[in-house]
Amino acid sequence: MELKVFGRPTCQVCKQAMEKINYFLDKWEYQGKVPLNYFDMDTVDGLAEGAFYEVFDIPTVVLLNNEDEMDRWVKRPPLSKELKPYLDPAV
């Protein structure tokens, strides 16, 4: 299981998405067990990764399991009730 967050440093909603997901991972004790990666869409590397995952808007949160996309949330972070069911079987 892996979470990828695509955003920009100037985007408040993007910052909140990272904070919220980090909070969930800490609260549910998944920190270090479920990788969380941030991609800055203002950089070439971020744009390349975003293009690979067909990211058209920010923030976009992509949940992967063995490189297969399980779910995605666009323009908002996932709600706890949307994310937790995916993570529970992963640990």
Whole-angstrom distance, CA of residue 3 vs CA of residue 48: 17
Going by the DSSP 8-state scheme, the letter that residue 86 receives in this structure is: H
Nearest CA-CA partner of 8 in 69, 67, 50, 54? 50
Domain for residue 44, yes or no?
yes
**78 near 5, Cβ under 8 Å?**
no
Residue type, 77: P
- Look at residue 72 and tell me if it is in a domain: yes
pLDDT tens digits in sequence order for the chain, 91 residues long:
999 999 999 999 999 999 999 999 999 999 999 999 999 999 999 999 999 999 999 999 999 999 999 999 999 999 999 999 999 865 4
Q: How far apart are CA 50 and CA 44, in angstroms?
A: 10
pLDDT at 88: 85
Q: Domain for residue 91, yes or no?
A: no
Domain hosting 64: range is: 2-84
| Residue 63 resides in a domain | yes
Total number of domains in the chain: 1
90 located within any domain: no
Whether 89 maps to a domain, the answer reads no
Q: Could you tell me if residue 46 is inside a domain?
A: yes
Query: Residue 26: which CATH number?
Result: 3.40.30.10
